[in-house]
Amino acid sequence: MPDDDLNLGLLLLIPYRSMENRVFERLAEAGYDITPAQARVFQRISATGSRLTELAEQAQVTKQTAGFLVDQLEKAGYVRRVPDPTDARARLVQIADRGAETIPLAAAVVAEIEAEWTAHLGATQAAQLRRALSKLREITDPYAGPAST
């Protein structure tokens, strides 16, 4: 199927999935067994910790699904639950030491892939693509925060 026949969403998804697959392959090779569903929640945990309801909303899953995924991540040692200092009734999900170990590894794979893509596209097209996608994020990502120029 020619690229002209593919919608923009699919053209965005294909390279993302390729990157995602390579990250998970490298994590698995290093002994980390995180699934894409678990990562969808894991990557949204803030530096100070996040409430389960926030994670569910940002990952676009039900609270029950987020709870199940956090349970799996906690059992594997990637996250921990701690009391929320601002609300004694609530708990925060934080990244545990084992989870923190995965972050630089995944970041290195992403940097490697971005370098390959830049080499393939050329620096100018890669920079244009980054600017265009950042601009598109302004209207597609409710968690992006204020736009920076």
Q: Which helix (H) or strand (E) holds 8?
A: helix 8-29
Secondary structure E strands in the chain:
79-84, 87-95
Render pLDDT for 16-73 as a digit per residue (tens, 0 to 9): 999 999 999 999 999 999 999 999 999 999 999 999 999 999 999 999 999 999 999 9
Rounded to 5 degrees, φ, ψ at 146 are: -65, 145
DSSP 37-54: HHHHHHTT--TT-B-HHH
Tokens for 104, please give them.
Answer: 């630089």
Tokens for 130, please give them.
Answer: 């980054």
Distance CA 59, CA 6 (A): 26
pTM attached to this predicted model: 0.85
Domains by residue range for the chain, with CATH: 3-138 (1.10.10.10)
Distance CA 104, CA 70 (A): 21
Provide mean pLDDT across the span 7-15: 94
